[in-house]
């Protein structure tokens, strides 16, 4: 093989291995605990039990156009603090007197959470799998941020053993 051809192959492989792949980086107290690859249109859910009323809360996020968006929140009944805010989604009824606010579509990158106790059960649902955040990291600071990793690193996702 001639040198220019070899150089082109090496360059091509190098570009492929470094090609950026989108994902969601989760950090607890600044330490990376998971990196989850995201595809356009991918859906994530964060669920937990409200610390005062004990009601289950479900928040929905979608990765679109390189951004993570908060799209909807679901609750079993209408309560204080819920309702339409002009320009921030719309309230819809769901079965069993439940309520949802849909069509929120707000950027959700760089979010910071204070994870609850294990019985609060903050759980991230990703591709049908539950990541039990409160059970692994109770009362800790969780941040998540959409980031791109080189394709080669994306083959080896970061994941804390507890998850």
Q: What is the pLDDT of residues 11-69, one digit of tens each?
A: 445 545 567 899 999 999 999 999 999 999 999 999 999 878 788 999 999 999 889 99
Per-residue model confidence (pLDDT) at position 78: 66
By the 8 A CB rule, do 5 and 13 touch? Answer: no
Helix (H) / strand (E) containing 149: strand 141-150
pTM equals 0.82
By the 8 A CB rule, do 134 and 123 touch? Answer: yes
C-beta contacts of 29-33 below 8 A and 24+ residues apart: 29/140, 29/141, 30/143, 32/158, 33/136, 33/137, 33/158, 33/159, 33/160, 33/162, 33/163
- DSSP letters, 6-69, are HHHHHHHHHHHHH-EEEEEEEEETTEEEEEEE--TT-EEEEEEE-TTT--EEEEEEEEETTEEE
**By three-state DSSP, how is residue 144 classified?**
strand
d(C-alpha 23, C-alpha 147), whole Å: 5
Evaluate whether residue 161 is within a structural domain: no
The count of structural domains within the chain is 1
Evaluate whether residue 85 is within a structural domain: yes
pLDDT tens digits along 85-144: 777 888 888 887 788 889 999 999 888 989 999 999 999 999 999 999 999 999 999 999
Identify the domain containing residue 96 by its residue range: 24-154
Evaluate whether residue 19 is within a structural domain: no
Evaluate whether residue 57 is within a structural domain: yes
Evaluate whether residue 17 is within a structural domain: no
Evaluate whether residue 113 is within a structural domain: yes
Distances in Å between the alpha carbon of 158 and those of 35, 57, 103, 154, 163?
Answer: 5, 27, 31, 9, 10
Per-residue model confidence (pLDDT) at position 10: 46
Evaluate whether residue 109 is within a structural domain: yes
Evaluate whether residue 11 is within a structural domain: no
């Amino acid at each position: 093989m001639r040198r220019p051809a070899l150089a082109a192959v090496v360059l091509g492989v190098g570009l492929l291995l470094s090609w950026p792949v989108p994902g969601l980086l989760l950090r607890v107290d600044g330490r990376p605990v998971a990196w989850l690859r995201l595809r356009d249109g991918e859906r994530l859910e964060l669920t937990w039990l409200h610390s005062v009323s004990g009601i289950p809360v479900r928040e929905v996020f979608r990765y679109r156009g390189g951004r993570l968006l908060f799209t909807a929140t679901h609750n079993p009944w209408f309560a204080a603090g819920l309702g339409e805010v002009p320009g921030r989604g719309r309230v819809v009824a769901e079965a069993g007197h439940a309520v949802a606010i849909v069509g929120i579509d707000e950027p959700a990158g760089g979010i910071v959470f204070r994870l609850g106790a294990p019985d609060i059960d903050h759980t991230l649902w990703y591709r049908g799998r539950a990541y039990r955040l409160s059970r692994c990291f109770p009362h800790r600071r969780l941040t998540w941020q959409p980031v791109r990793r080189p394709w080669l690193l994306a083959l080896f996702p970061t994941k804390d053993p507890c998850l």
